[in-house]
Amino acid sequence: MDRALGGEYIFDRAFLESSVHELSDAVYQVVYSLNALSQNEYPRLFDRFQTVKDILDDILRGGAGPFASSLVLAYPVLGWEMEPLVGMFNICLAEARHRYELCAPDGFAVTAAGCRLFFEENGFLKEASYGSDPNAVKETFSRARIPTELENAIQSETQALLERCGSGIRLSVRVCPAGGLDMGQHPLVGIHNVSPRDILDACKLELAEYASRLTEWNESRVAVALGIHETVPVSFTGKVSTVSETVSTVKTLWITAAPEDHPEEIENYWVSRSFPYNLLQSDVLPKASGENSQDRAKDPSSFQGIPYRGSAWMEPSFLQSIALSATTIERMLGFPFELRWGKSESENPVILDIYPMCQMEEESHFPEDLTDILRHADLLLQGGETAQAGIAYGRVVHVSEIDSEEDIPYGAIAVTRKASPQFSSLLRRVSALITEIGTPGGHLATIAREMRVPAIFGATDALKILRTGWEVTVDAGERSVYKGRIEPLLSYRSSGAELCPTDPEYVVLRGLLRWIMPLNLIDPESQEFSIENCRTYHDIIHFAHERSIEELIHVQSRKDLMGNLPSRRLELDIPMEIHVLQVDGETSLKAPDAVRMEEVTSEPLLAFLEGLSQKDLWNQSVLSLKVKDIFSGIDRTYAAIAGPPEHMGRNLAIIASEYMNLSLHLGYHSSIVDTYLSDNPGRNYIYFRFVGGFADERRRVRRVNLIQAVLEKMGFKMAVKGDLLVANLRMTSKEESVSILESLGGLTAFTRQLDVTMVSENRVEDLVQLFLSKMSRSSQSNQDEETEHEKLPEEDP
Amino acid sequence: MNDSLENTNRDAKLQILILDDEAIVCKRLKPAFQKAGYDVETFTDSASAMSRVNEKKFDIVITDLKMEGEDGMRFLSRIKETAPDTGVIVITGFATPESAKESFHKGAFDFVAKPFRLSDIIDTVRRLEKQIRSKD
């Protein structure tokens, strides 16, 4: 479903309904299975599931979910799916500020439900109940009473806004149509510079202004919300139009500017539509000698190459900032619009208003011969998968995880090795993103869709093919990258083929995804990681995943469960016993008790055993235990005898051809490897958990430090707490995963009983080096063997 | 240039009619096919679409199956009666083996279940275009 947001798929309501029903069935199975595994330890998870399911069903029926009854909503919680509740204007300001981090005023919305309550309580829903004379309407509204519930909500939210922005701010109040009403019309200009204590009167006055302008009054006209936001003092104001105007065949943004106190002194600028937004043409007013324009105008020499007709109100860098905001919002909206901006006291462009100009570009803008143009264009790369459709132009920049965000220029076409979530914030800066490894189902792809940044994931050899500094045009929907700037292709950016935030299907899909996708439960070790805090299907699944891994640790102690499962002992050439439970393919209860290595088909297990069975990694010498060691471990010995399952259980590998969950209990420590290994790097992961030991805490922690140092070199992300280590690695190729699993097997053998010998900090680094050298020798030896094997003449048949 | 002449020219753009009662499908398919080099007209009700088919010959018709009023299966039959050479692609969110079988039986070129990728439907139209041009 999330992928449908990216514009790659054509879908309808039937798809949304069937997807939600299928997903709900699957999540129910997850909750059911966790309870089956844990002997009904988590019955309240069923309640959380039902709550989320009810919300999704309501949205599918056309409802607005739990927010439908909210009278006010703060900008930080608004998203596109709430447009029917708060209107386009509020959503645009909120999204610009909180999702794209553009300069836009903070505020809150009095929702359509809030406004309706006001109309209802005062009997204004009846046609012309307040008369037709504008002055009479205003008089009637001024005497109207704001219901107490709404009054309290507005005052409470005003107070919260003052706390966010400072108590000295003034407020603006604006009516905005909700639910797609009057999308093409410019909303009212609103009331500005309102003292916070007068906010209720200002709300009534603005609604009166709206009502007095209506030629007819009916139910649909009541679907309005109010936007209440900070009034930003500005010295200059102007507009940006993204409706294409051409200067020398290049499509431009048209920007106007005028001093706030002289709105008639308008200057015009035309800048290119792509970073760095070069100034292509300007229409600058001549300034009279002695006018104080020098204070307001900036360096005229900056306009080198442009016909000089006097100092301009706006310098190029400021125009660049405005253009950056405009193109970001254009990408966000997906259609042409006009934006009103102001120059704030801090010299930044602040967004004051956004309203659509028309739904789409004129069809006449579509070049007739685009197919021919593209046929003759230099196609540099084709392939991968679309994470977010869209067309972008820019310069290629190779980005790695160690690069600082500030080093990546705005408007770049970022090319990376992996679709690492670490690049999420980068998406606010770049025009497009291309990764060699990653899938549209990953986290970064979700963020790309949220930000509507064109993105291609899994494009093989993208780093090799796309050289740093090259100018390219990316068509993410077609999974193509062309050399240079293909202007006719860029004309299609607002053609309507993409799914836009104003499409009703987009609103419903976003509404559904709000209760499916977000992951609020991040840290399994946190107290917040609880059933009560599961607010989405993703939370429920993540909670169930973490708890099921814990249950798997204990599973071998569950005689009731294990007694029925056909696990078999693996015949190993090392002093260790592992039982395997095959969960794919056919497994017969009558199968022999033991399974031979050559019968194992699980690739992850084979890789792990390859490392585990390296003889020189096993320390076969008898450990020299001192009395102190025995005393320090004696509590764990008693604990072991008392029977905590992790000390008593068998070593169990639950396996499939591409999956392994391996629980090991070696002496007094336990470890888990949970991994999926396939040809698709985007799906691959390795989870490793290690805890415990016999020695005192300092030595156990040193062993964990050793493991941490080795895993760091493999690229794992880790959390360490005392002698507990939890490590994760995602999106590695199959070959890398196999190599890492071999190393984990080797590490398991190498660190067995090693805690007792960790007598000093120095020993950690020494043993890290020793392990790495042993693994390296082992790897070399394997390669030599393979080479020798290849040299052997083939046997005659 | 009249329609029949247009369609005998191998370099002329093929004419596509899209019928789907969900406006979002028409809104998104139209620019996608224009970008791919086709002339496109869209309709959200079958009566208007049929009326247009009676006025102008289309090379390709893409129709939804389950719609208010005359459904896509009936529309497919009438297209094949009126303009047997027109290639018809059926798109539906309610795909069943029976509806697919019936569509093919009535002469549909292909049957595509929603949701589908834009690239997939364009590939289908390209295959149909190849067939149409080879007949020319």
* B25/A370 CB distance under 8 A: no
Residue B4's pLDDT is what? 38
Q: Is A400 left (phi over 0), alpha (psi -120 to 50) or beta?
A: beta
Residue A582's pLDDT is what? 83
Give the whole-angstrom CA distance, residue A228 versus residue A200.
Answer: 11
Residue A476's pLDDT is what? 93
Residue A31 binned pLDDT confidence (cut-offs 50, 70, 90): very high
What is the average per-residue pLDDT within A324-346? Answer: 85
Pick A502 or A605 by higher pLDDT. A605
Q: Tell me: the pLDDT tens digits for A74-114? A: 999 998 889 889 988 899 999 999 888 899 999 999 999 99
Nearest CB to B114 within list A10, A360, A504: A10
**Does residue A187 carry a pLDDT above 70?**
no
CA angle in degrees (0–180, nearest 5) for A751-A753-A758: 75
Pick A613 or A796 by higher pLDDT. A613
What is the average per-residue pLDDT within A744-751? Answer: 89
What is the average per-residue pLDDT within A17-38? Answer: 94
B93 min Cα distance to partner chain A (Å): 6
From A289-303, A697-711, B31-45, the region with the lowest mean pLDDT: A289-303
What is the average per-residue pLDDT within B105-123? Answer: 91
Q: Considering chain A, what is the average pLDDT of its residues?
A: 82
Pick A300 or A781 by higher pLDDT. A781
Beta-strand relationship, B87-92 and A349-356: unpaired
* B114/A11 CB distance under 8 A: yes
Q: Considering chain B, what is the average pLDDT of its residues?
A: 86
**Does residue A8 carry a pLDDT above 90?**
no
Give the whole-angstrom CA distance, residue A257 versus residue A314.
Answer: 7
Pick A493 or A785 by higher pLDDT. A493
Residues of B in contact with A499 (CB under 8 A): 24, 28
B41 min Cα distance to partner chain A (Å): 12
What residues contact residue B55 under an 8 Å CB cut-off, 6+ apart? none
Residue A297 binned pLDDT confidence (cut-offs 50, 70, 90): very low
From A31-35, A90-94, A382-386, A571-575, the region with the lowest mean pLDDT: A571-575
Pick B114 or A405 by higher pLDDT. B114
Give the whole-angstrom CA distance, residue A639 versus residue A633.
Answer: 10
C-alpha distances in Å from residue A113, one per residue of A71, A93, A122, A222 = 6, 20, 14, 10
* A497/B36 CB distance under 8 A: no
**Does residue A794 carry a pLDDT above 50?**
no
B13 min Cα distance to partner chain A (Å): 10
Question: Can you point out the beta strands (E) in A42-181?
Answer: 72-74, 107-110, 171-177
List the one residue out of A325, A229, A214 whose CA is nearest residue A277.
A325
Residue A473's pLDDT is what? 94
Nearest CB to A370 within list B27, B30, B37: B37
Give the whole-angstrom CA distance, residue A67 versus residue A113.
Answer: 10
List the one residue out of A584, A477, A541, A708 whose CA is nearest residue A7.
A477
Give the whole-angstrom CA distance, residue A154 versus residue A200.
Answer: 8
Residue A129's pLDDT is what? 57
Mutate to test the interface with B, among A12, A368, A502 (most CBs of B within 10 A): A12
What is the average per-residue pLDDT within A511-518? Answer: 92
Coil, helix or strand for A250? Answer: strand
Beta-strand relationship, A659-666 and A191-194: unpaired
Pick A253 or A336 by higher pLDDT. A253
Whether the CB-CB separation of A548 and A663 falls below 8 Å is answered with no
Nearest CB to A10 within list B31, B94, B115: B115
Residue A623's pLDDT is what? 46
Residue A216 has a CB neighbour count (10 Å cut-off) of 8
What is the average per-residue pLDDT within A411-417? Answer: 93
Residues of A in contact with B90 (CB under 8 A): none
Give the whole-angstrom CA distance, residue A676 versus residue A583.
Answer: 14
What is the average per-residue pLDDT within B47-54? Answer: 90
Residues of B in contact with A12 (CB under 8 A): 20, 22, 24-25, 93, 114-115
Residue A141's pLDDT is what? 85
Whether the CB-CB separation of A743 and A714 falls below 8 Å is answered with yes
Pick A192 or A214 by higher pLDDT. A192
Nearest CB to B118 within list A8, A12, A363: A8
Nearest CB to B93 within list A15, A370, A497: A15
- Helix, strand, coil shares of chain B, percent, nearest 5, are 50, 20, 30
* A366/B31 CB distance under 8 A: yes
Mutate to test the interface with A, among B34, B63, B67, B126 (most CBs of A within 10 A): B34
Label residues A402-416 b or e (16+ Cβ within 10 Å = b).
ebeeeebebbbbbbb
Nearest CB to A496 within list B27, B115, B116: B27
Residue A305's pLDDT is what? 39
Residue A108's pLDDT is what? 97
Give the whole-angstrom CA distance, residue A474 versus residue A494.
Answer: 15
Q: What count of CB pairs under 8 Å joins A to B?
A: 74
* B115/A371 CB distance under 8 A: no
Radius of gyration of chain A (CA): 32
From A17-31, A176-190, A444-458, A627-641, the region with the lowest mean pLDDT: A627-641
From A164-168, A521-525, A655-659, the region with the lowest mean pLDDT: A521-525
Whether the CB-CB separation of A642 and A525 falls below 8 Å is answered with no
C-alpha distances in Å from residue A744, one per residue of A661, A748, B48 = 13, 6, 67
* B117/A8 CB distance under 8 A: yes
Residues of A in contact with B37 (CB under 8 A): 370-371
End-to-end CA distance of chain A: 54
A497 min Cα distance to partner chain B (Å): 4
Q: Tell me: the pLDDT tens digits for A685-719? A: 999 988 877 667 778 888 888 899 999 988 898 88
Residues of A in contact with B94 (CB under 8 A): 14
Whether the CB-CB separation of A764 and A709 falls below 8 Å is answered with yes
From A270-284, A464-478, A643-657, the region with the lowest mean pLDDT: A643-657
Residue A28's pLDDT is what? 97
Q: What is the pTM of this model?
A: 0.74
A39 min Cα distance to partner chain B (Å): 39
Residue A194's pLDDT is what? 95
Q: Tell me: the pLDDT tens digits for A548-591? A: 877 876 665 666 665 566 678 888 888 788 888 887 766 554 55
Residue A711's pLDDT is what? 93
Residue of A nearest to B40 (CA): A363
Greatest mean pLDDT range, A125-129, A447-451, A763-767, A793-797: A447-451
C-alpha distances in Å from residue A408, one per residue of A349, A402, B41 = 22, 12, 43
* Maximum Cα–Cα distance across chain B: 42
Residue A153's pLDDT is what? 97
- CA atoms in the 13 A half-sphere facing the CB of A683: 7
- Chain A residues contacting B, CB < 8 Å? 4, 7-15, 18, 360, 363, 366, 370-371, 389, 477-479, 492, 495-499, 503-505
Residue B2's pLDDT is what? 38
Nearest CB to B93 within list A14, A479, A498: A14
* B115/A9 CB distance under 8 A: yes
**Does residue B126 carry a pLDDT above 60?**
yes
Whether the CB-CB separation of A221 and A202 falls below 8 Å is answered with no
Q: Is A179 left (phi over 0), alpha (psi -120 to 50) or beta?
A: left
**Does residue B97 carry a pLDDT above 50?**
yes
**Does residue A309 carry a pLDDT above 60?**
no
- Chain B residues contacting A, CB < 8 Å? 20, 22, 24-25, 27-32, 34-37, 91, 93-94, 114-119, 121
* A10/B121 CB distance under 8 A: yes
Residue A216 binned pLDDT confidence (cut-offs 50, 70, 90): low
Residue A191 binned pLDDT confidence (cut-offs 50, 70, 90): very high
Coil, helix or strand for A283? Answer: strand
**Does residue A115 carry a pLDDT above 50?**
yes
Give the whole-angstrom CA distance, residue A555 versus residue A551.
Answer: 6
Indicate the angle between helix axes A734-751 and A761-791, nearest 10 degrees: 130
Coil, helix or strand for A5? Answer: helix
What is the average per-residue pLDDT within A635-654? Answer: 51
Supply φ then ψ for residue A230, to 5 degrees: -60, 135
Nearest CB to B115 within list A4, A370, A492: A4
* B28/A499 CB distance under 8 A: yes
**Does residue A240 carry a pLDDT above 50?**
yes
